C-alpha cells in the first residue's frame, strides 16, 4: 500500500505525538515487525534498535543519558516512500546548545519500517550527556 506525501507527513506527526505522550502501544502499532532505528557510531546511544519496541527502548536510553526539555519539530517533507523531519532537541540546561538533526523515515505497507537520525553536530549531544552525568554525581 503506497502512501501519499501528505499521509506520510501526518503519519510522522502522529508517531511523534504517540511517542511524546508515552503511548508505546500506539507507536508499536505504527511500525513494521522488522522495524529498525539506526543511531550513528558517533553518538552515545549508538547502535541499531530493532522491533516494535525499538522506539521505546531508544527513548528510555536517551532520556536516561540527558535531560531533554523539548523536541521541536520544524518541518517534515515527504516523497515516494520516505519522509524527512527537521527538528532540534532543547536541553534542560540553558547553557547547552540545542542538538539539531533530521530524521529520515522509510515506509512500507502503510507503516514505518526504518528511521535514520542525522545529527548536525554530535558533540552537542555528548555535552548534554556529560552535563547530566556531572549533575547526577553532584
pLDDT per residue rounded down to tens, the chain (138 residues): 689 999 999 999 999 999 999 999 999 999 999 999 999 999 999 999 999 999 999 999 998 999 999 999 999 999 999 999 999 999 999 999 999 999 999 999 999 999 999 999 999 999 999 999 988 887
pLDDT at 138: 79
pLDDT at 61: 94
Nearest to 100, CA basis, from 109, 113, 91: 91
Residue that is written with C-alpha cell 519522509 in the block:
83
Nearest to 117, CA basis, from 65, 6, 67, 42: 42
> Strand, coil or helix: what is 26?
helix
Domains assigned to the chain: 5-130 (3.10.450.50)
- State the cell numbers at 138: 553532584
pLDDT at 7: 97
Helix (DSSP H) and strand (DSSP E) numbers for the chain: 4, 6
pLDDT at 1: 65
Amino acid at each position: 500500500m503506497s502512501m501519499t506525501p501528505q499521509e506520510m507527513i501526518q503519519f510522522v506527526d502522529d508517531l511523534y505525538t504517540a511517542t511524546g505522550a508515552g503511548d508505546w502501544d500506539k507507536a508499536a502499532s505504527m511500525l513494521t515487525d522488522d522495524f529498525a532505528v539506526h543511531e550513528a557510531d558517533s553518538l552515545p546511544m549508538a547502535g541499531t534498535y530493532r522491533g516494535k519496541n525499538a522506539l521505546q527502548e531508544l527513548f528510555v536510553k536517551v532520556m536516561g543519558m540527558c535531560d531533554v526539555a523539548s523536541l521541536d519539530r520544524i518541518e517534515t517533507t515527504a516523497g515516494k516512500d520516505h519522509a524527512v523531519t527537521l527538528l532540534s532537541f532543547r536541553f534542560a540546561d540553558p547553557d547547552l546548545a540545542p542538538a539539531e538533526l533530521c530524521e529520515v523515515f522509510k515506509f512500507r505497507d502503510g507503516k514505518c519500517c526504518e528511521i535514520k537520525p542525522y545529527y548536525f553536530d554530535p558533540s552537542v549531544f555528548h555535552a548534554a550527556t556529560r552535563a547530566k552525568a556531572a549533575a547526577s554525581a553532584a
